[in-house]
A and B are shown apart, each in its own frame.
Chain A
Amino acid sequence: MTGKNDVAVLGVGMHPWGKWGRNFVEYGIAAAEAALDDAGIAWTDVQFVSGADTMRNGYPGYVSGATFAQALGWTGCRVASSYAACASGATAMEAARTRILAGLCDVALVVGADTTPKGFLAPNAGDRPDDPDWLRFRLGGITNPTYFALYARRRVDLHGATDTDFAKVKVKNARHGLANPYARYRKETSVEEVLASPMVADPLRLLEICATSDGGAAVVLCSLEYARRHTTNPVRVAAISTVTPAYPNTIIEMPNLATDSSAVAAIPERPFKASIAHAAYEEAGIGPDELSLAEVYDLSCALELDWYEDLGLCKAGEAEKLLNDGDTTLGGRIPVNTSGGLACFGEAVPAQAIAQVCEVTWQLRGQASGRQVEGAKAGITANQGLFGHGSSVLLVR
């Protein structure tokens, strides 16, 4: 069944993830050209370029839509640039989708790419005591893994998660990513090897926290009518959720030093992360039981387990069981991170939400060679950008 707000994914493309050290524009253009070829259209056919921004590459990164359009050759097409941290790609896809659904264009190109420094992601230089992202590093030495570890510790102390459970997520994703030509790390690992890696932020170890990577991803989105002229049975976007938290958000979120207060306002029915997927399910009219696969933001191995529950793949406190039963492994009931996830990619911030959509698209077309979920009909992506950006895309075929 086709929803009235569906748009088609006409083409997808990626540049391999790695630590290439080249200009981010190069990765974005390689991904864009691959997506245009996959769509079977020319660059000059594109009516709107929606860029996902990078904050680490100067002005061209802040105006990524124009940067990519100029690199491909000015055509007079409209551009927009979105920044929503890790959710930037979803916001950029949403800009393209709404423009298509409004009838203002038929076909749009969405691109995100990044070149990242080694090590911890850190705030931009200079004293900025009114910026929460600066304050948390200065006042507490509070890094991104600090937050991942706080959530992981909750799983240990409240749900009885073990070090082995977290390591098993890494082992699973490493195996999934072996056949993915775009993954940066394509090597099997073992629970023993993961547990032997150094502790970074207790209880999380180095091999359980995603690296930072260079990479690029692109999708061509178009109206269903435009798609019919180019292909039969395209993958469709049934929902894009870009919701923000509802007050009071009582889960401590990156980069904040404190939560909202629940002193005078009732705590929302769903925590923020659960509300991200809920909005996608509502919009698509599809529930978690109908999914064939999910791509989730495994910034840490423990965070992948949180997503199982937030996506409704299992009840609260049952994620470790879902993992250990093999349900989220390829061949299981609901494979998660068939691409290998961030465990195999490392994070290229503005490209990541788009890369998730590339993977689900290949799965729904039956083109995920060596990691195919047989008969995949529907898949969801889930991700969250700091400063309150939700990101979830539900795709069907």
Chain B
Amino acid sequence: MTTRTRVHALGAEGWFTLDGEPALIGSRCTSCGTFLFPKRSGWCANPRCRGAEFVDAPLSRRGKIWSYTDAQYQPPPPFVVPGESFEPFAIAAVELADEGLVILGQVVPGVGVDQLKVGDEVEVTVGTLFSDDEHDYQIWRWQPVTSEGASS
């Protein structure tokens, strides 16, 4: 059995928790209080704020689907096909009410567009985007919240 290390996918370092309860991590401006995702450094996106200091802000784990679709054709590089052959996957844009953000992400494998609706509640999970010999590259994904509650 090979042992691979779970690491953030290239470019997403620090964007979500790797251990414990899954959560996206954005930035919060210490001057105006706005949220930013992906994480930000340097200057605030709010044109009426000159803030340049940010703190990490774990984002709401649950949100509502703003819209959704799927990828039925294999995307071009730098997308990496996980496994032997391309399997279509769903994608959702999810509205986090407290942060006033809409965040895109894949939907967990096995959930298709026929199981999604605008306004449905979903929650964030962390899983493997693709692997090489030494690493499982991790990414956030959206998972529908069933009436019985979270199933992660």
Contacts and interface: CB of A to CB of B under 8 A. Distances in A.
A264 B35 CA distance: 9
Contact of B46 (A135, A142, A202, A265): A265
Given A247-B46, A257-B38, A265-B48, A137 B104 contact: no
Interface residues of A, number: 49
A201 B67 contact: no
Contacts of A140: 91, 104-106, 139
B101 A143 contact: no
Contacts of B101: 258-261, 263
B106 A201 contact: no
Contact of B102 (A135, A157, A250, A265): A250
Given A140-B105, A202-B69, A265-B48, A258 B38 contact: yes
Given A150-B68, A252-B104, A258-B104, A139 B34 contact: no
A393 B101 CA distance: 32
Contact of B69 (A135, A153, A262): A153
B1 interface: no
A257 B104 contact: yes
B33 A134 contact: no
B100 A263 contact: yes
Nearest to B29: A264
A358 B16 CA distance: 48
Contacts of A248: 34, 45-46, 100
B103 A258 contact: yes
A127 B71 contact: no
A252 B36 contact: no
Query: Could you tell me the dominant secondary structure of chain B's interface residues?
Result: loop
A263 B77 contact: no
Interface string A257-296: 1111111110000000000000000000000000000000
A254 to B, nearest CB: 10
Query: Could you tell me the dominant secondary structure of chain A's interface residues?
Result: loop
Contact of A263 (B33, B69, B79): B33
A203 to B, nearest CB: 8
Given A130-B11, A154-B118, A258-B38, A142 B102 contact: no
Given A141-B106, A201-B72, A146 B78 contact: no
With most chain B CB atoms within 10 A of its CB, the pick from A130, A201, A202 is: A202
B105 to A, nearest CB: 6
A66 B90 CA distance: 44
Given A120-B76, A137-B78, A247-B46, 5 more contacts: A136-B104, A139-B12, A203-B69, A258-B103, A263-B98
Q: Which 3 A-B pairs have the closest CB atoms?
A: A129-B11, A262-B100, A149-B69
27 contacts: A120-B76, A122-B76, A127-B10, A135-B38, A137-B75, A138-B9, A141-B75, A141-B79, A142-B71, A145-B69, A150-B68, A157-B119, A199-B72, A202-B70, A250-B102, A257-B104, A258-B101, A259-B103, A261-B34, A261-B35, A261-B37, A261-B45, A263-B100, A263-B101, A264-B32, A265-B32, A265-B34
Interface of B: 9-12, 32-38, 45-48, 66-73, 75-80, 89, 91, 93, 98-106, 113, 117-119, 129, 139
Interface of A: 119-120, 122-123, 125, 127, 129-130, 134-143, 145-146, 149-154, 157-158, 198-204, 247-248, 250, 252, 256-265
